[in-house]
Amino acid sequence: MVPPKIKVLLIFMPFMAVAFHLNAQDDLDSLLTKELGVKTEEVYATFKTTRIVNGHSVERVREGDLDFRIAHRFGTVKGGAYEFFGIDQSTSQFGLEYGVKDFLMLGISRATWQKTTSGLIKLSLLRQKTGEKSFPVSMSYISSVFVNGMKWSDESRDNYFTSRLSYLHQIAVARKFNSSLSFQVTPTLIHRNLAQGSEPNDIYAAGVGGRYKITVRSAIVGEYFYTFRKEIPEEYTDCFSLGFDIETGSHVFQIMLTNSQGITENNFIVYPAGKWKKGDLFIGFNICRFFTLKSEKKSLE
């Protein structure tokens, strides 16, 4: 009835089906991997906030987020227990910083030193990326204008409003090496329209900063600004700061030890008066509170 050739084929058919089947079973893993592919992704949270310690980090406030910042620098810790290690004397800065666009952040603030009011613009120009089209670093441009609000010390001379102004220009280039370690270099130019005595109008500085995460929510941060200080009184030194970041949901606390009481760049980069060797240091903290004013639209494709 059934020719032998076909018989053989019939006998083998179930085996063929099983073989095919087995083959198909094995491949789900590789199919998942294949379909997941390698996507280009932006590296997030190189630093916890927009400042490393005193100076700017490469980070910006996200679009639609408002960052209310309170910063305090106390008196020198040399004051000892009588001055409560400087905490009896406080200088402060209050600021509001808003993410207008994903790449653009604007800010205003007011600081005790020289009754300074300042405006800030920060542009996120390049972002570190991983995956198919990876990119090694993030880069931001930071520019501030500081308005000295003190009464003129010499009322008799011609005092122009422009003499109250100084400017900050910084390029922050940072890389998040892994989930714990981030590093940044920050070439800096500060221009003062009116410089004291024989001091130059332009001050150049090179900043380096880093972060090392101890736990997912806390990190040690450090920052150093080398200032090219021709003709600046020798009592001033370079700014070096160490800090500790603690994140609690929508707050970030940064507590620090620094040799500068100034909070604005035209002070702490130019005039840090304390010496680390002599223990002439200042305790300070930054508190950031984030408010989401505009929520992200869920991508309902």
Binding site for other proteins (CB under 8 A): 2, 6, 9-10, 13, 16-17, 20-21, 24-25, 28-29, 31-33, 35-36, 39, 41, 43-45, 62-65, 178-179, 216-217, 247-250, 290, 292, 295-296, 298-301
The distance of closest approach from Cβ of residue 97 to other proteins in the complex, given in angstroms and rounded to an integer, is 14
Structure tokens at 41: 């992704």
DSSP 170-200: EEEEEEE-SSSEEEEEEEEEEEESS-STT--
Q: Please say which residue, 271 or 290, places its beta carbon nearer to other proteins.
A: 290
The distance of closest approach from Cβ of residue 124 to other proteins in the complex, given in angstroms and rounded to an integer, is 14
Q: For residues 246 and 221, is the Cβ–Cβ distance under 8 A?
A: no
Q: Please say which residue, 275 or 294, places its beta carbon nearer to other proteins.
A: 294
The CA distances from residue 17 to 12, 20, 21, 23, 119, in Å, are 9, 5, 6, 10, 73
Location of structure tokens 């707050």: 251
Non-local (6+) Cβ contacts of 92 within 8 A are: 70, 71, 72, 73, 111, 112, 263
Q: For residues 62 and 103, is the Cβ–Cβ distance under 8 A?
A: no
Structure tokens at 75: 């008196």
The distance of closest approach from Cβ of residue 197 to other proteins in the complex, given in angstroms and rounded to an integer, is 46
Q: Please say which residue, 81 or 300, places its beta carbon nearer to other proteins.
A: 300
The distance of closest approach from Cβ of residue 44 to other proteins in the complex, given in angstroms and rounded to an integer, is 6
Q: Please say which residue, 5 or 157, places its beta carbon nearer to other proteins.
A: 5
Q: Please say which residue, 30 or 198, places its beta carbon nearer to other proteins.
A: 30
Q: Which residues sit opposite 269 in a β-bridge? A: none
Q: For residues 63 and 294, is the Cβ–Cβ distance under 8 A?
A: yes
The distance of closest approach from Cβ of residue 109 to other proteins in the complex, given in angstroms and rounded to an integer, is 21
CA–CA–CA angle 121, 123, 124 (5° rounding): 150
The distance of closest approach from Cβ of residue 235 to other proteins in the complex, given in angstroms and rounded to an integer, is 42
CA dist., res. 57 & res. 285, Å (int): 16
The distance of closest approach from Cβ of residue 65 to other proteins in the complex, given in angstroms and rounded to an integer, is 6
Q: Please say which residue, 196 or 250, places its beta carbon nearer to other proteins.
A: 250
Classified as helix, coil or strand, 21 is helix
CA dist., res. 286 & res. 284, Å (int): 7
Give the CA diameter of the chain: 125
Q: For residues 128 and 137, is the Cβ–Cβ distance under 8 A?
A: yes
CA dist., res. 10 & res. 2, Å (int): 10
Q: Please say which residue, 31 or 150, places its beta carbon nearer to other proteins.
A: 31
Q: Please say which residue, 36 or 81, places its beta carbon nearer to other proteins.
A: 36
β-strand pairing of 129-130 with 90-101: unpaired
The distance of closest approach from Cβ of residue 74 to other proteins in the complex, given in angstroms and rounded to an integer, is 25
